[in-house]
């Protein structure tokens, strides 16, 4: 046996959950005909995820190994009956590799503490919300219970509210007697009304009202509704809705500039993640290309209204440089990111930390990851599409880790029981583009048993 030269392996040093230094990750560059196996005295942590930059020299293909161990063996096949082993010992080290700074556990901060500190340097901090993941909006609502965070924030800026109802929401969070039916119009009469039906969004409004009851008027939080004011009576056909939808990010920016920045206030923004990235992200790239090749001229004209526009994050970076900081939310257990972050050898045990935690995206390998690695559709992406996406640190300034998130696409029982509101939603979906209409209608219960009286009520509902 012989020993590989150390430059054949690229490694980083990471502080694990016990405070020890361990090597992570190990990515290998192997000649053609070689493969990796692990020695019996190693404690490997394996994953099929491909490390960026780990290539087979001869075949120029990604090498799907990453490991956390002290010794492994590269094996060369010499024929059908014989093999030659080369032992690779990775020495103990006490500093990061020279070409890339390691991401350490000490870089993580409890979310409330970390976000509070950000407001010392920024006027706006964005939290990316994951639709149909109730634990995410619940975690954001819990963050507001932090006295230290609530003390530095003036406004909570939300995507899920029509600015036509700003005065209603102002009265509600200030403690005025506003009925739940009146308050609900703020999110019911939005462009994406079905998405905001889960109860977590309403709970955020209630939490702010409760917090304000305990604070002097001069220190009360305000909820700013970011969706530009409009009336559903304006929407007669799909192109009307598409035009408003395409103009959202520009409208969000104008609302934030008017209600927060120009007033010298500090704002915590809660938006769908793809509004906060510093450049647009084209999701489902292959599907979009295939669709574009089969569209009729009329469809292409209609879809051109929905062309990629500048994101809110991009607009803020361009027009208000240095005033905002964007945090991308992801599950710490997703794609085994926590094994790399925490140098944890076990695949089954969740690390013993209290989530959420935040970390700056310029931290070592985390910022260099393809942005797709932090998205929910990562495993459906092809290698080619992943490579087309920019690194994390060019899209957002930081990452907010939650734990054990589950997607739940369903309407609350209270919504299902409201036949008049269900009828209104059905009527609205008929004015939407076909694909979007079908997706939303698949979520709505049948309203064939709605009475004429209820239908009349729904028809005249704002």
- Looking at the chain, which residues constitute the CATH 3.40.50 domain(s)? 105-402
Residue 358 in 3-state DSSP? strand
The torsion angles phi and psi of 262, rounded to 5 degrees, stand at -70, -15
pLDDT of residue 87: 42
**pLDDT attached to residue 306:** 41
CATH of 105-402, one of 3.40.50, 1.10.10, 3.30.70, 2.40.50: 3.40.50
List strand residue ranges (DSSP E) for 90-123, in order.
109-110
User: In angstroms, rounded to a whole number, what is the distance separating the alpha carbons of residues 96 and 13?
Assistant: 5
Q: Which one-letter DSSP state was computed for residue 395?
A: T
Mean pLDDT of 103-110: 62
At 149-161, the pLDDT tens digits run 989 999 999 999 9
| Comparison of pLDDT for 35 and 111, the residue scoring more | 111
**Amino acid 376: pLDDT:** 65
Mean pLDDT across 355-380: 74
pLDDT at residue 326 greater than cutoff 50: yes
The predicted-structure confidence for 266-320, as pLDDT tens digits, reads as follows: 999 999 999 999 999 865 433 433 343 444 544 443 443 344 589 999 999 999 9
Q: Compare 85 and 206 and report the one with higher pLDDT.
A: 206
CB 366 within 8 A of CB 439: no
Tokens 């939650």 belong to 402
The helices-and-strands tally (H runs, E runs) of the chain is: 19, 15
Of 61-70, 106-115, 205-214, where does mean pLDDT reach its minimum? 61-70
Residue whose tokens read 């879809």: 303
How far is Cα 157 from Cα 270, in angstroms, rounded to an integer?
6
- For a pLDDT cut of 70, what percent of the chain falls above it? 59
| Cβ(92)–Cβ(13) below 8 Å | no
What pLDDT is stored for residue 169 in this prediction?
Answer: 98
Q: Which long-range contacts (CB under 8 A, 24 or more apart) does 51-54 make?
A: 51/25, 51/27, 52/368, 52/369, 52/370, 53/10, 53/27, 54/10, 54/27, 54/28, 54/29
**Residue 399: half-sphere exposure toward Cβ, Cα within 13 Å:** 30
**Residues 117, 124: Cα–Cα separation, whole Å:** 12
- More confidently predicted of 68 and 188: 188
- Tokens 């919300």 belong to which residue? 129
Task: Specify burial of residue 133 (Cβ count, 10 A radius: 0-12, 13-18, 19+).
Answer: buried
pLDDT at 134 over 60: yes
**Residue 448 pLDDT greater than 70, yes or no:** no
Secondary structure of residue 193 in the 3-state scheme: coil
Who wins on pLDDT, 277 or 401? 277
d(CA 328, CA 358): 9
Q: Per-residue confidence at 368, pLDDT binned at 50, 70, 90?
A: confident
pLDDT band at 449 (very low <50, low <70, confident <90, very high): low
Coil, strand, or helix at residue 41? coil
Range 242-248 average pLDDT:
96
Give the residue carrying structure tokens 């500090």: 266
The predicted model scores a pTM of 0.72
pLDDT surpasses 50 at 5: no
pLDDT of residue 195 exceeding 90: yes
């Amino acid at each position: 046996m012989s020993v590989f030269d150390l430059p054949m392996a690229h490694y980083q040093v990471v502080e694990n959950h016990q405070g020890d230094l361990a090597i992570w990750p190990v990515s290998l560059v192997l000649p053609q005909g070689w493969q990796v196996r692990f020695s019996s005295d190693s404690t490997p942590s394996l994953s099929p995820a491909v490390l960026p930059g780990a290539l087979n020299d001869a075949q120029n293909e990604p090498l799907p190994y990453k490991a956390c161990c002290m010794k492994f063996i590269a094996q060369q096949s010499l024929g059908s009956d014989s093999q030659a082993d080369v032992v690779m010992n990775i020495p103990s080290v006490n500093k990061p590799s020279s070409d890339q700074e390691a991401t350490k556990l000490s870089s993580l901060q409890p979310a409330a503490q970390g976000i509070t500190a950000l407001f010392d340097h920024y006027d706006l901090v964005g939290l990316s919300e994951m639709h149909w993941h109730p634990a995410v909006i619940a975690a954001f609502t819990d963050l507001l219970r932090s006295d230290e965070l609530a003390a530095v924030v003036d406004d909570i800026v939300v995507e899920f509210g029509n600015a036509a109802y700003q005065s209603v929401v102002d009265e509600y969070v200030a403690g005025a007697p506003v009925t739940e039916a009146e308050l609900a119009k703020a999110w019911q009469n939005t462009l994406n009304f079905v998405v905001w039906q889960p109860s977590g969004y309403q709970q955020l409004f209630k939490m702010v009202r409760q917090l304000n009851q305990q604070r002097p008027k001069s220190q009360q939080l305000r909820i700013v509704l970011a969706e530009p004011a409009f009336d559903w009576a304006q929407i007669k056909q799909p192109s009307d809705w598409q035009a408003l939808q395409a103009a959202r990010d520009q409208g969000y920016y104008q609302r934030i500039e008017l209600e927060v920045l120009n007033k010298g206030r500090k704002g915590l923004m809660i938006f769908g993640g793809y509004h906060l990235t510093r450049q647009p992200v084209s999701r489902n790239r292959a599907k979009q290309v295939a669709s574009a090749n089969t569209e009729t001229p009329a469809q292409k004209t209609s879809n051109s209204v929905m062309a990629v526009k500048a994101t809110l994050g991009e607009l803020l970076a361009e027009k208000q440089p240095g005033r905002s900081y964007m945090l991308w939310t992801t599950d710490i257990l997703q794609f085994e990111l926590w094994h790399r972050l925490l140098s944890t050898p076990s695949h089954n045990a969740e690390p013993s930390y209290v989530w959420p935690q935040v970390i700056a995206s310029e931290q070592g390998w985390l910022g260099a990851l393809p942005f797709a690695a932090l998205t929910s559709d990562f495993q459906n992406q092809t290698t080619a599409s992943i490579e087309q996406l920019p690194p994390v640190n060019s899209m957002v300034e930081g990452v907010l880790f939650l734990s054990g998130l589950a997607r739940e696409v369903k309407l609350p029982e209270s919504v299902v029981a409201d036949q008049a509101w269900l009828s209104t939603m059905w009527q609205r979906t008929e004015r939407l583009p076909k694909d979007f209409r079908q997706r939303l209608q698949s979520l709505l219960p049948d309203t064939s048993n709605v009475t004429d009286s209820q239908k009349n009520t729904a028809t005249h509902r704002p």
